Amino acid sequence: MTDILAGLGHGFSVAFQPENLLFVLIGVTVGTLIGLIPGLGPVATIALLLPLTFSLDPAGAVMMLAGIYYGSMYGGRIPAILLRLPGDASAVVTTFDGYPLAQQGRAGPALGITAIGSFLGGTVAIIGLSFLAPTLAGVAKSVGSPDMFVLAAMGLLMIVFLGSGSKVKAIVSAALGVIVATVGLDPTTADPRLTYGSFELTAGVSIVAVAVGLFGIGEILYNAQQGFYGGLARSAIGRVLPTRADWLMTRMAILRSSIIGFFIGIIPGGGGTISAVVAYGAERRFSRHPEKFGKGAMDGLAATETADNSSSNSSFLPLLTLGVPPNPVLALIFGALLLHNITPGPQLIDEYPDVFWGVIASMYVGNILLLILNLPLIGLFVRLLRIPGGIMAPIILMVAVAGVYSVRNSMFDVLLAVIFGIVGYVLRTFNFGLGPFVLGFILGPLLEEHFRRSMVLSDGSFMIFLTRPIPLVLMSLLLAVIIWTVADSRRKNMRPTIDQFREAERAEGVVAESDSGARPGSEGEPVEEGDTPRHPGTDPRHDA
């Protein structure tokens, strides 16, 4: 406990340095503004700003990127509630009750309760992160290469199987990312791989070119095809602070969802979408008025936003302590650290305490700044939604190209970014997830390094993965997730068949009741006088 408090004290001394405070303020402000723009989101924003972090201090750079991440969770609720336009997948659940509340003239209290819930959920997660991270980092120091290989592989596969959409397409996307990561010189033999005679490719593919191409240029191309949003019409927000009745209705939902979001955020592949869905479903069970959910339930809205922000903060735990990013946003922050020659993992707390403790302490500061920004300035943020997306797109494109070029002053990197922009557009068009791609690209070198080390340690025997406790536990967990996913998919596929069967059964019963010449269940037999034809499911004798 003493070490943790001392570490937090050191972290606050780093976070309260004037330049770092400025980076936190910039991060949460930019994150909130970016969350307002439907279709952009934190992944694209962090990808666009990766080049900027190259010239910053590592601690300040990660503080700013972290602020963008959890700041965008705040900002994303505004278009979801007012326009029914979710900025990312997790904000879809926000539209269920947020938009109906706005239609009922309660947009102000809806925005206010989500700001307060987000603050409380984020605070609970940061407190948990502060006390669990050092302990987990200490345990992680005894983790060997076989354990790290299985952990990284499990993280990648969990994201594939817990994500939405086609699992096959997600696996293909992740595999493409791993393949792109192998471009360059072999780390052991220094032989060129997939360079095709290009000298520039011997240094490998830049994470900046991949990220900006996929999430910046690719998203702009995709949104241009789908049609940019036209901007918000004038609308009155009114009172932002929730009433006492709103607070009494939502206080327990906020508490429960903070805890749910914290634990789901730690799981690779968990993230905001799953935490929002789970918290929403749990709150519907606890609610005294579940029939209001989907029609403007304030407690349902508070649950989704609280869990979303709680998970966005707790997801830093596996990144900082194990070096395994649990979602695409953290994968890009992982890449930002790699740009500074810092590899996240168990050694981070000892070798780079300014980064480890500074980032955690900055989250306390950033969370307070977000609450201060979001309650009084909500009217200003709403006005920004009136800017059409078509005006923002060329500005974003210019920033993307300039940022890629600035890292290494290389037009080849710009060309790569354009190529990956086209790749991202094609993948999005055919519903391939971009998240698994970038995670495969980030985790690919980690998988290769630890797999090779494991093979050296075991003289080429795969039994090394079956004789250690951590890989066995992790593989058992992964197997359970795969079985659950397959069973859930089969159940969803069978549901239409079952519904069709029941509908046919009902139709058959109706036909039988209208047929006065035959008793249901007895083909061709006349109905005797005084008997009433019954459907088998409505016959008391049948039920008995």
pLDDT beyond 80 at 11: yes
pLDDT of residue 464: 82
Question: 30: closest CA among 77, 70, 82?
Answer: 70
Is the pTM above the cut of 0.75? no
pLDDT of residue 527: 43
DSSP state of 522: S
- The 10s digit of each residue's pLDDT in 341-361 is 888 888 888 888 888 999 999
Q: Is 185 helix (H, G, I), strand (E, B) or coil?
A: strand
Q: How confident is the model at residue 84 (pLDDT cuts 50, 70, 90)?
A: confident
The answer to whether 231 and 388 are in contact (CB under 8 A) is yes
The answer to whether 301 and 113 are in contact (CB under 8 A) is yes
- The 10s digit of each residue's pLDDT in 55-81 is 788 899 889 988 888 888 777 777 778
92-96, 246-250, 370-374, 381-385, range with the lowest pLDDT: 381-385
- Determine what percent of the chain falls in helix, strand and coil, rounding each to the nearest 5: 75, 0, 25
pLDDT of residue 531: 45
Q: How confident is the model at residue 529 (pLDDT cuts 50, 70, 90)?
A: very low
pLDDT beyond 80 at 372: yes
Percent residues over pLDDT 70 in the chain:
81
At 305, list the tokens: 């936003």
pLDDT beyond 90 at 24: yes
Q: Regarding predicted confidence, which is higher, 114 or 378?
A: 114
Q: Give exposure, 412-447, as e/b (b: 16+ Cβ within 10 Å).
A: bbbebbbebbebbbebbeeebbbbbbbbbbbbbbbb
- The 10s digit of each residue's pLDDT in 269-304 is 666 677 887 888 888 888 888 888 888 888 888 898
Distance CA 249, CA 265 (A): 25
Distance CA 425, CA 136 (A): 39
Give the Cβ contact number of residue 388 at 10 Å.
13
108-112, 210-214, 524-528, range with the lowest pLDDT: 524-528
Spans of all domains in the chain: 2-225+240-535
37-51, 200-214, 311-325, 488-502, range with the lowest pLDDT: 488-502
Residue whose tokens read 């980076």? 23
Distances (CA, A) of 454 to 186, 318, 458, 460, 475: 17, 22, 6, 8, 16
pLDDT beyond 60 at 487: yes
- The 10s digit of each residue's pLDDT in 135-180 is 887 776 667 778 778 877 877 776 666 555 677 888 888 889 889 9
Distance CA 441, CA 47 (A): 14
Distances (CA, A) of 483 to 418, 477, 522: 39, 10, 44
Question: 400: closest CA among 415, 417, 422, 376?
Answer: 417
Please name the amino acid found at residue 431.
Answer: N
pLDDT of residue 365: 92
At residue 274, φ and ψ (nearest 5 deg) are: -65, -40
pLDDT of residue 533: 42
Which distant-in-sequence residues (6+ apart) come within 8 Å of 523 by Cβ?
Answer: none
Angular region, 294: left φ>0, alpha ψ -120 to 50, beta rest: left
The answer to whether 364 and 120 are in contact (CB under 8 A) is no
